[in-house]
Structures are given as structure tokens and as C-alpha cells.
A and B are shown apart, each in its own frame.
Chain A
Amino acid sequence: MLRLEGISLGFDGFTLAVDLDLPKGGRLAVLGASGGGKTTLLSVIAGFLMSDRGRIWIDGVDVTEAPVPDRPLSILFQEGNLFPHLTAFDNVALGLRPDLRLDEEARTRVDETLLQVGLAGVSTRKPGDLSGGQRSRVALARMLLRNQPLALLDEPFAALDPGLRAEMMALVADLCDATGLTLVMVSHDLRDAERLCDALILMQDGRIVTHGTMADLMANPPDTLKHWL
């Protein structure tokens, strides 16, 4: 579903060199220390950075040269996911129509999606009046509404407390199960990765040093992964 073939990108003395294949519905955790290349990898997949070499396919389509808006994916950042002047409803509705011209059917879809993530009663509130967990749910609802086949998560719940983070991971896992979404999640925390993902890559200096299914890696962790346990 997501295929990165011979991807290479160099800047400021750093080189990203990655090959990757993720099947449809797969959930991949990208683990690694700061500066290892996790966010750079996500930026290349999303199109924020263009690779020097290699090809990227999403859902069978070569998107290597495609601009960001044309790539069939959604993304959740750690910060800056919501527009502070818009209500929760409007923030979610942006996923359908950036100009917010919604017909009745579209409004119903937004309401249903808010319900799906447990936010039925807060649709008229602005982000400043929502809790951290509710804000994460709004961003998640918008991602669902976009209905893209690939989701990129750049540590979106890192600022939440452990309990709330676990709750959000469980919610994302349920939604992935229900929709068949393919997911790539950057994380610093192996436990988060284990909760949500079925495969893992460990990145170091722009390269993948460990790659395998979560079950295999947890059952028989290689040396590279041991200090993350």
C-alpha cells in the first residue's frame, strides 16, 4: 500500500536512505532517537520534502512528484492540528471543505464523525475551551472524515498524560480496525508503538537499522531494540 523504493535525501550533513513496504491496513511504528530521521521520513512521504532519488507509491499510485494536496493521505502533528478561531465542528469540517460551504449531507457527516470519536456534545466549542484529549479527538475526527487510505501520525499524543495517551491509542486502533486505514506513526515510546502497531522500524542516522513485525521483535528483541524496552 505504501512503498518507498531507494528513497534518498541529503541536507546539512544528514542523509536519509530508506526502502520500505507496508501492506494495506498495516500499522507501522517508526521508532528512533531525536535526529534519527523519523520526522524527515514522514515529511518525504507527505511531500513536505522532496527526495533526491527513489520513488514513492501510495495505494498503487506513484506520488513521487505529486504536490502535498494531491497525495492520498492525512496527517496528525504533535501541535498545531487545530485552528483556534474555529469551533470543533468547523475544525472537523475542514477535512471535507476548506471553504466550509457545507450542505446538509456534509453537516450530517461531520456530526456523525464527531459522534464516532465521542465528541457529540462539544461541537460548538473552540479549541481553547476543550481539554487536551478532546482536542486530539477533534483532529482525529477530521482525519477520519478525510477518508484517505494512509494516515501519518507525528507523535500526535505525546503531550497527553499516560492515561489519556493510552485511551487515544485504543481509539485509533479501533478506528483503524473499523476502516482498514493504513497507518505510519512516529514515536519515542515503544509501549505506545506496541499498543497500536503491528510492525516496527527503528531508525538511526537516517537509516532503518531494525525492521520486523511487532510480535517477532517483542518476542525476540535484537540488540538495537533492547535499550528501548
Chain B
Amino acid sequence: MARRAFPISVATWAGAAVAGLVLVVIALPLGAVLLRADASSGLGPADWAAVRFTIWQALLSAAISVGVAIPVARALARREFRGRRALIALMGAPFILPVIVAVLGLLAVFGRQGGISAALRFLGLPELEIYGWQGVVLAHVFFNLPLAVRLILQGWLAIPAERFRLAATLGFTSRDIARHMERPMLRNVAPGAFLVIFLISTTSFAVALTLGGGPRATTVELAIYQAFLFEFDLGRAALLGLVQVGICVVAGALVIWGTKPNIAGTGLDQPVARWDAQTPAARILDAVLISAATLFLLLPLLAVVTRGAGAIAGLPPAIWAAALRSIVLSLVTATLSVGLALPMAILIARGRARGLLETIGALSIAVSPLVIGTGLFLILRPVVSPTGAALPITGLVNALAALPFVLRALVPGVEQAEAGYGRLALSLGLNGPQYLRHVLLPRLRRPLGFGAGLAAALAMGDLGVITLFAAPQQGTLPLEMYRLMGAYRTNDAAGAALLLLTLSLGVFWIFDRGGRVNAAT
């Protein structure tokens, strides 16, 4: 096969070096976990319960998310209304929403002091119990329902509009459309969505930390944390880390196996006219579904805003200091993540060892941040105080966690730039820094801004590895907020939640917006 001549070879070396670095930074902690794992005693009953709960709650969360998303996505696919685009955009927000903020919002709506429980009390019914498996599943559905809706909506919109027109001329009823068009699409799309959500739900440490716990609602990651902080049983923590890696590898393999390319063809990214869905009953059903999904997403966020607005000005200085640490951390993470991703993206776009590089880029999905953190703790403990290195380690682990998403944003842009301008640049003798400056960077402003914003927002809201390392008075804003919630300082926690929400959305907006200004593409 003919190989393309590329303008700069230094990028090849840089990409290979970065990929090697990423591999080492993930493999070393994994190796440390492997060596330290205390396999002699095996897993105890509590550990097996954690394994069972991790899988069970992830299955339930994925099933409910996808099950609810199907009718909501169908309603969105076949209805045009004011605010539709804004609603679909809002469904992308949970990805960058700090877990702890969402949890506070869910508590405000579904907790004992929330409106739903008040209504149930008024009706003489028992209140909702949000702590435990119910809360874990509820939070996972809150985070993943929008993702499922977006994935399935894409499937619906990928059915060519002509096929719906054809169905109308053939006299298809709603049942015929479901049988011949919707179910085949769902058979393609829904398993992938289910498995992605299953994978996400097996690694959402912060949800289990805040809403789970106890013998009946402890995930493997929460068990690692408890072995670390409460029992300081590093051997057991490491063993559980290996179990977690096993769960993620299996779930990740299932995602790759279960996500099929869409066979339905291409269509327009707009609602499709449906002649079978014009009955008043269908219209009312769709309106109810869209309204319910919107309220489910918006009410917790509105609760965070309304409760936090009055409290934000009175936040103690320690919270503002934590906010400053979080801002620095998110900026460092964004820089590091983009700095790692760009050379790798160039190498991937050039097709050299693409599969290997993509696997390395996605390793942080299989080896979860908490496991990497556990390994780094084991490596660093004999050398330096882990608490002293809390912020650099958190930044590094967050950058690795964001790497798959930043790569996904960058690679298509690099491919496009190289395909369009690579040969021209070669003929003009542009190489190294000139190629980067004149060809790549102007065309990558958008994905660079988006990727950096994503990494910054994820780091801003992260409540994972920092919990293993941070000493008192050294916490990030999410950790301080968690501590406030644990101390029942609800007013301060509400203020901190609003501050964290503003900062997370703010850093994402600034980077994303910055990337769009004067972008070449």
C-alpha cells in the first residue's frame, strides 16, 4: 500500500513519545496495584456484594435510561416546537455537570425535604428514600437519560425521510412503522446505548460516594475508597482495584462489540414529518413525554440555582480558596490533556498504528481514575507524602480521564486538515512549527477549544481521585462541598453547588467559545 508523505516527521516522534508516556503512566500504577493486591484471602462476602451491586445497579440504570429514552427520543424526532434545539443542547449538559452538584439538586427535588416527598406526605403516602440503591440508580438515570436520548435520537434522525414518505404512500400504520422502521433501528442503536451507560455506571464513584454506601449499596470503587480511608487495607484496595479493572475491561469490550454501525442510512438532522403521528392522542403523549423529561432534567438544576443564589455571597473563605484550587486544577488539566492529545491525534490521523494508539488513548476508560489513583498512591507513598502531591496527581489523572474525549474531538479535525492542506504544505516546504502554525492550529481551533473545555469542566467537577489524596484544608471545590454536605451545612453546600456549577459551565463556555472565535473551519 502506498504511504503518504507527510510534512513533519517530528510530530510522528512526538505522538509516539506521548503515547508511550500515557501507556507508562497508566501501566505503572496498574502494575503497582497488581503487585500489591492481596489475593491470598480472596474476596470476602462484602466484596462480592460490592461486585454484585456494581453490576446490578449498572444494568438497572442502563435499562431504565434506555427504556425511558426510547419514547422521549421518538417524541423529539417527530415533533417540531419552539425550544427543541435548546432542549437537545441541554441534554448534552449533564456530561460536564459536576456529579456532586447534580446530587444536591436531586436531593432537593427527590429527597425528604424535596417537593415530591412533600406531595407524597400530603397524600398520606410514604416519602421517597433517596439514599441507597434507589438514589444511585436515580442519579445514574439523571446523568444518562440525556445521553441515551441523544444516541437514540440520532438513530431516529438517521432513518431517511424518504422512507417515512414511502411508508405513508404504502399506508403503514403506527404498528407497521414500528415493525419495519423503528424496531430495526432500535435493534441497532439501543444495545450500544445500553452498554455505554452500563460502562459509565460501573465507574461513577462520586454517585455511590454521595448517595450509596452501606452493605446494600456499595460499589467496587466505593469499597476501594473505604478500604483506603477507613481501613487503610492497601492490599484489599489493590485487589478490588483489579476487580474494577476486570469489570471495566469486560464492559468496554461489550461496548465495542455491541455498538454497530447504523444501517438505516442517512437523513436530515431535523424532525421528520410523520403521517402516522398526527392524532390528538399521539400529540398529547409526545407533549407529556417531552415535558416530563425536561422537568426531570431542569428541576434539580433550578433547585441548585434557587437555593444557592442566596447563599453564595456568605460562603466561608475556605470555599473560595477551594474554588481557586479547582480553577487552577482545571486549567492545568485542560492544558495537559490537550498537550497529550494533539501529538497523538496527529499520529492517529496519519494512520500509523492507529488501532494501538486509539487503544492507548482509551485506556483510562478500562483503568478507571480511582484505580490509577490507587496505584499512584502505592508508588508515591514510600517516596513522598501522597497528600502533598494531591493536586498534581489529580490533574494528571483527570487529564488521562479526559484524553479519550479530547482525542475524539481532535482526530477528525486533524484528518480533515491533513487531507485538505497536507500536500499543499508539503509542496510549499512548510514543516514543523510552520506546519503547526499555518495549517493545523487554525483548523483545529474549534475542536481544541471544545476538547480543552471538556477537560477543564470534567476536572472542575471531579470528585474521584482527590478523595484519596487530599488532606483537610487542601480540598478542591467538589470535595469541600461534599464535606459541607456531610456536616449538614446545607446552606453553604447550596452556595458551593451554585459556585461549582457556574465555574464548570463557565470554563467550558470560555474554552469552547474561544475556540470558535476566528476559527478557520
Interface residues, chain A, with chain B CB atoms under 8 Å away: 46-48, 67-69, 71, 73-75, 77-81, 83-86, 94-95, 98-99, 128, 146
Contact = CB atoms under 8 A, between A and B. Distances in A.
B42 interface: no
B166 A98 contact: no
28 contacts: A67-B168, A68-B275, A69-B168, A69-B170, A69-B171, A69-B275, A75-B166, A75-B169, A77-B166, A78-B162, A79-B265, A80-B166, A80-B265, A81-B166, A83-B163, A83-B180, A83-B181, A85-B184, A85-B263, A94-B170, A95-B170, A98-B167, A98-B172, A98-B173, A98-B180, A99-B176, A128-B263, A146-B170
Interface string B244-286: 0000000000000000000111000000010100000000000
B321 to A, nearest CB: 55
Given A69-B275, A75-B166, A84 B180 contact: no
A146 B173 CA distance: 16
Contacts of B264: 84
Given A46-B169, A69-B169, A79-B265, 9 more contacts: A48-B168, A69-B172, A69-B275, A73-B169, A80-B265, A98-B170, A98-B173, A98-B180, A99-B176
B402 to A, nearest CB: 37
- Among A77, A80, A83, A84, the one with the most B-chain Cβ atoms within 10 Å of its Cβ is A80
A48 B160 contact: no
A128 B173 CA distance: 25
Nearest to A86: B180
Interface in B159-207: 160-163, 165-173, 175-176, 179-181, 184
Contacts of B275: 67-69
B78 to A, nearest CB: 15
The 10 closest A-B pairs by CB, nearest first: A80-B162, A80-B160, A68-B168, A98-B176, A69-B171, A77-B162, A85-B184, A80-B163, A98-B172, A75-B169
A137 B399 CA distance: 55
- Among B160, B162, B176, B263, the one with the most A-chain Cβ atoms within 10 Å of its Cβ is B162
A228 B161 CA distance: 30
Contact of B169 (A74, A99, A128): A74
Nearest to B160: A80
B162 A84 contact: no
Nearest to B173: A98
A87 to B, nearest CB: 12
Given A68-B275, A84-B263, A46 B165 contact: yes
A115 to B, nearest CB: 21
Chain B, interface SS category: helix
A15 to B, nearest CB: 21
Contacts of A74: 169
A192 B128 CA distance: 69
A48 B165 contact: yes
A75 B181 CA distance: 18
A74 B168 CA distance: 10
Nearest to A75: B169
A38 B263 CA distance: 29
B80 to A, nearest CB: 14
A227 B168 CA distance: 37
Contacts of A84: 184, 263-265
B358 to A, nearest CB: 27
Interface in B305-319: none
A46 B168 CA distance: 10
Nearest to B188: A85
A143 to B, nearest CB: 10
B273 A48 contact: yes
Interface in B124-170: 160-163, 165-170
A99 B166 contact: no
A86 B273 CA distance: 23
A68 B162 CA distance: 13
A106 to B, nearest CB: 15
A137 B273 CA distance: 27
Contacts of A78: 162
A77 B175 contact: no
A106 B308 CA distance: 68
B475 to A, nearest CB: 54
Nearest to B264: A84
A135 to B, nearest CB: 12
Contacts of A75: 165-166, 169
A86 to B, nearest CB: 7
A197 B163 CA distance: 26
Contacts of A48: 165, 168, 273
A94 B180 CA distance: 10
Contacts of B184: 83-85
Nearest to A77: B162
Contacts of A68: 165, 168-169, 275
Nearest to A43: B165
A129 to B, nearest CB: 13
- Among A48, A74, A95, the one with the most B-chain Cβ atoms within 10 Å of its Cβ is A48
B188 to A, nearest CB: 9
B146 to A, nearest CB: 28
Nearest to B187: A85
A130 to B, nearest CB: 14
A95 B180 CA distance: 13
Nearest to A69: B171
A229 to B, nearest CB: 30
A128 B262 CA distance: 13
A84 B179 CA distance: 13
Contacts of A81: 162, 166
B187 to A, nearest CB: 8
A46 B171 CA distance: 12
A83 B273 CA distance: 18
- Among B165, B176, B184, B273, the one with the most A-chain Cβ atoms within 10 Å of its Cβ is B165
Contacts of B166: 75, 77, 80-81
B180 A77 contact: no
A32 to B, nearest CB: 20
Contacts of A98: 167, 170-173, 176, 180
A5 B61 CA distance: 58
A32 B376 CA distance: 68
Contacts of A47: 168
A146 B170 CA distance: 8
Nearest to B180: A83
